[in-house]
Amino acid sequence: MIFPPVEGAEDGIVAIGGDLSSERLLLAYHCGIFPWYSKEEPIIWHSPAERFILMLDNLHISKSMKRVLNSNRFSITFDADFSFVIKQCAAVERKNQDGTWITNEMIDAYLELHNLGYAHSVEVWKDEKIVGGLYGVSLGKVFFAESMFHTESNTSKIALIKLVALLKQKDFHFLDAQVHTTHVESLGAKNIARKKFMELLQQGLKDKTWKGNWTGY
């Protein structure tokens, strides 16, 4: 099982087809590739010419976000309800998108990665209800953030901020947000060239993966 070199990816597309087995997904992440496709399409494997990443020390928290964080209105958990989080992310309506890229096939695949200890979720709670969160994949000292949601203002940002704090505690190198969003840009993420991303990725993958359930952190 191999992927073509990412350097030859036209329009960021490395390959089309295959499956979402855990083995193939983990290989893809190791190669700087991620799946992104719609319900009626075959599986499309991407490695954009520019990669959107957050170096953990570059996290920017605005004064207004600091007030939200200090309000103690929300509590945070890790891996408390991965299934709920990914399904909420799938249900989010996104601008300029017809439907969701998080298909049922995708949900099943990432649930399996979660069961294997590679995929993780962050939950933001208010009054015993999850009102925001995100999920992604952890390999080596790199976290690949896949998607986020919120049903209350700022709660997806809270999830990301709290995740970064944990990643820094565990000496992670950076968070890969894949493609540009103004939402994550406001927290300090930047586009970098694919070549530079691949260099950073190879460095980050030299360390042992923190596998297992992150509940309790």
Do residues 18 and 54 share a domain? no
Q: Backbone dihedral region of 99: left (phi > 0), alpha (psi from -120 to 50 degrees) or beta?
A: left
> Is 42 domain-assigned?
yes
- Is position 185 within any domain? yes
Residue 96 sits in the same domain as residue 14: no
pLDDT tens, residue order, the chain (217 aa): 789 899 888 889 999 999 999 999 999 999 999 999 988 899 999 999 999 999 999 999 999 999 999 998 999 999 999 999 999 999 987 555 444 579 999 999 999 999 999 999 999 999 999 999 999 999 999 999 999 999 999 999 999 999 999 999 999 999 999 999 999 999 999 999 999 999 999 999 999 999 999 998 8
Q: How far apart are CA 213 and CA 136, in angstroms?
A: 13
Domain of 27 in residue numbering reads as 6-46
The answer on 165 and 62 residing in a single domain is yes
- 54 forms beta bridges with 175
Q: What is the CATH number of the domain that holds 27?
A: 3.30.70.3550
In this structure, the answer to whether residues 146 and 101 fall within a common structural domain is yes
Alpha carbon dihedral 85, 129, 123, 165, in 10-degree steps, equals: 160
What is the reported pTM? 0.95
CA distance 119 to 150: 19
Asked if residue 217 is part of any domain, the answer here is no
Question: For the chain, what is the domain count?
Answer: 2
Give yes or no: residues 65 and 156 share one domain: yes
Q: Is the domain of 134 the same as that of 176?
A: yes
**Claim to verify: residue 137 and residue 68 sit in the same structural domain:** yes
Q: What CATH number does residue 104 fall under?
A: 3.40.630.70
In a domain, residue 123? The reply is yes
Same domain, 71 and 37: no
